A and B are shown apart, each in its own frame.
Chain A
Amino acid sequence: MAKRVKKEEAELSDVGKLMIKNTKEDDKLKQEILKDLKKNPKYKEYFSTYNKQTVEAFIKNYAEAKWRYLKYGEMYLKKEDEEISRYKNRAERLFWLIQQKKLFNLQCQFRAEKITIPGIELCEDFDYWEKAIKTCPFLDRVSEEEFNLLVEFINSGAYDYDNDYEYCDWQSYQKSFGDDDWKKELPDWYDFFDDKMGTGYLLDLPDIRGEKELKYTRLASKQRMEDYKKEHPEYNPSAKSDPRPMMGYSDDFIVDFIKRFDDPVLLKYHALMDRSDYDDSGYPELSNALEDLKNAEIPIPVAEGGSWQEVIITSMAEHEVRQLNKALPIVFDEYLFRLDNNISFGYSDAELEEQTRTRKMIDDHHRKSVLQGRKLNGEPEDLNF
């Protein structure tokens, strides 16, 4: 019997094997917790003060709960951290965008070889300082005027409620890859800043330094490809790929396939089981808005809107702006206080890891490629170009 089960298990798909492995591990932990609660003498006195039947039910319930805490607690803890002072944290993140824009403007000038910056040798070094913006040594302190500009931006129609400002690449400079369209991809905040401060011309400066680096990295890349081909003679990039279209997983494909080949009842099952809890189609901001609404401690005034989704999103967007207006001056005051009293700005462990990873990436790949390109071009293996 056990042998047969083992054999059946061995024949399962990877997903199936993983599911069974998880079930076994989960069960083991649950059994250990149950055994501890039932047998460990430390609980005896406590449980003896309660009705026996309810103690049994409590142990079952608590064992299940404890297993959930141990399995998912760490994940929830991170989530909860994010929830603490939601708007204060958002205000803080937004505040540093002032410095990101100033750094980006310096990057434009550096690329045009209008300026040199001690510590910046390659364009990609800006990526590092993007991650370490709070301690970037070559940026002026945030001025009252710059701060007011950010507040103006938050209160303008240009500020986007659902734009996750945390995940933007603030120093991503895409000029080399296309025409003027790259400007349209820049963050709304940059457009707003340029419009008010007249710094838009920096985007039109030539990318001299970037193109030089690109020349070297291309040479290195070409060399790497040739090396690869030598090591892998079977590699044939010019072989024609299959010209037929790809199948997808979207609803269209699924529904079409069921209609053609399967039992129509599956259409009903699919419609009921694969639908979202609520209709957010066309409203990617809804889930964030709902999360904010659930966390709201005070009544939120109802905004105008067409659909119910729009009403919820707009109400929460307006609420966010109101809360940010309260939180931003506090953030600015704290910033000034730290500067005036030489108190350094801290980073979380995750931020520090990100900085290290970025630094390593720049050194291991970009810097190495540029130096290799220089050598291949018969030039000295340094960054003086």
Chain B
Amino acid sequence: MSEQAKKDIDNTMRREKVIKEITSELTKGKKYKKYFEKYNPVSTKSFIESYARRKAQWLEWGPNYLQRDINEKLRFREMASTFLWEIQQKKLFNLQCKWRAGEVVLPGIEVSWDFLKWEQKIKTCPYIDAISQEEFDLYKQYMTSESYQPKHFMSSWQGYDFYRTEYLNGGESMMPTPAWYVYHDTMMGTGNLFMLPNIKGDKEQFYLNLVKAEEDEKAKKSKGKKSKKNDVPAIVKAINPNFDGKPPIIPDYKTKEEFIKKFEDKTLLKYFKAMEQEDDTWQEDQALDDCLELFSYEMIDENMQIEFKNPDDLKDSIFRAAADFELTQITNCLDAAYEEYQMKASNGISFVENDEMVEFADTTFNSIINFIKEQILHGRELNGEPRNFDY
């Protein structure tokens, strides 16, 4: 028997024991006697059985539910605290523009990719000042304006190339410039930072191109001699030296479907199709349920009016009403979040970054950056220049 099954059985036994104890207490306990005597004994027996089962569940899961409820109530406050760091992201981004133009030197920043690392660790980034009242006021003004838009999931905070191209050439890229950046630039006139030359970035590209040309040349010469292991891109080898060179198998809809068609009978394929929805459909259904939960409990608690703003599309209206509610809740928490930020900053209490983010930035991401740095240094050598970043 599997460990999981053993655990499940243990849990069932423990729960049943609790049920038994509660039932016995309710049946024999003197304090209930008078109460139960008022009712038909057939029904009290059923009531006791049902109550005991439910009480056992409350005792087992209740604390978790309560914690979840508390977390839910703190959610907007925590989101407001997280949002504040967008102010710092923009300041770091502006600094990146200046660094690329050679206007500033930042100790520890050797290549433009270093900014991507600090994006992950913005709370401890040493190159930017604390958030000032003016900066906070501007951000709050943005959050409550019509200009507010959640960041596109593809966009990163320090993704320079896409945003500069968008600024200089217009149009919208697959990584659209965050609305906060556009708002900031409009209000503060910082858009002209994009007009600064990208000297560092262009040089980096020049050295990387030299390396690429060398690799292409090598590949041409050794054509036909390649083993599978050598097919692994150098960057992947740098990050994970033990990588076996094979693609990952991901248990998504498409792969499972392919696997079932190859190895299973047609009935299982039917079951699979009936039970598994493609991710986006499932996610949309789940999102709709979440909206209704929000309407049912949180919005009612806050006496919030639910407005259906898109008369042509009920689903869209539901999503928008929920998003509007969340945004209002977050902006309502911004002042408190900033107060807490100031209190911590003025008392020298450090800001702690999410462990996962730090780990990612310091391990996998760092390996990628180190690989790129190595390539650039090699490019410098190929160009007859010293192996350093003083260019």
Contacts and interface: CB of A to CB of B under 8 A. Distances in A.
B44 interface: yes
Contacts of A249: 46-47, 50
B244 interface: yes
B44 A247 contact: yes
Interface residues of B, number: 83
Given A79-B274, A279-B300, A246 B39 contact: yes
27 contacts: A13-B20, A46-B262, A50-B247, A58-B250, A62-B259, A65-B276, A66-B268, A69-B271, A72-B271, A245-B38, A247-B39, A249-B50, A257-B35, A261-B31, A265-B66, A269-B61, A272-B69, A273-B57, A273-B61, A275-B297, A278-B293, A278-B296, A279-B296, A279-B297, A299-B315, A302-B308, A302-B312
Contacts of A79: 274
Contacts of B12: 12, 16, 19-20, 23
Given A248-B47, A266-B55, A272-B62, 9 more contacts: A51-B247, A62-B251, A73-B267, A76-B271, A268-B66, A270-B54, A272-B66, A272-B69, A294-B288
Contacts of B293: 277-278
A65 B264 CA distance: 13
Contacts of A30: 2, 5
B70 to A, nearest CB: 11
A277 B314 contact: no
Interface of B: 1-2, 4-5, 8-9, 12-13, 15-16, 19-20, 31-32, 35-36, 38-44, 46-47, 50-51, 53-55, 57-59, 61-62, 65-66, 69, 243-244, 246-251, 255-256, 259, 262-264, 267-268, 270-276, 284-285, 288-289, 292-293, 295-297, 300, 306, 308, 310-318, 321
Interface string A39-61: 00011001101111011011001
A16 B271 contact: no
Contacts of A246: 39-40, 42-43
A79 B38 CA distance: 45
B314 A302 contact: yes
B292 A277 contact: yes
A277 B20 contact: no
B62 A51 contact: no
Q: Which 6 residue pairs are nearest across A and B when measured between Cβ atoms?
A: A73-B271, A269-B62, A27-B5, A279-B296, A278-B292, A50-B249
A247 B46 contact: yes
A264 to B, nearest CB: 12
A269 B38 contact: no
A70 B5 CA distance: 18
A376 interface: no
Given A50-B248, A50-B249, A279-B297, A300 B66 contact: no
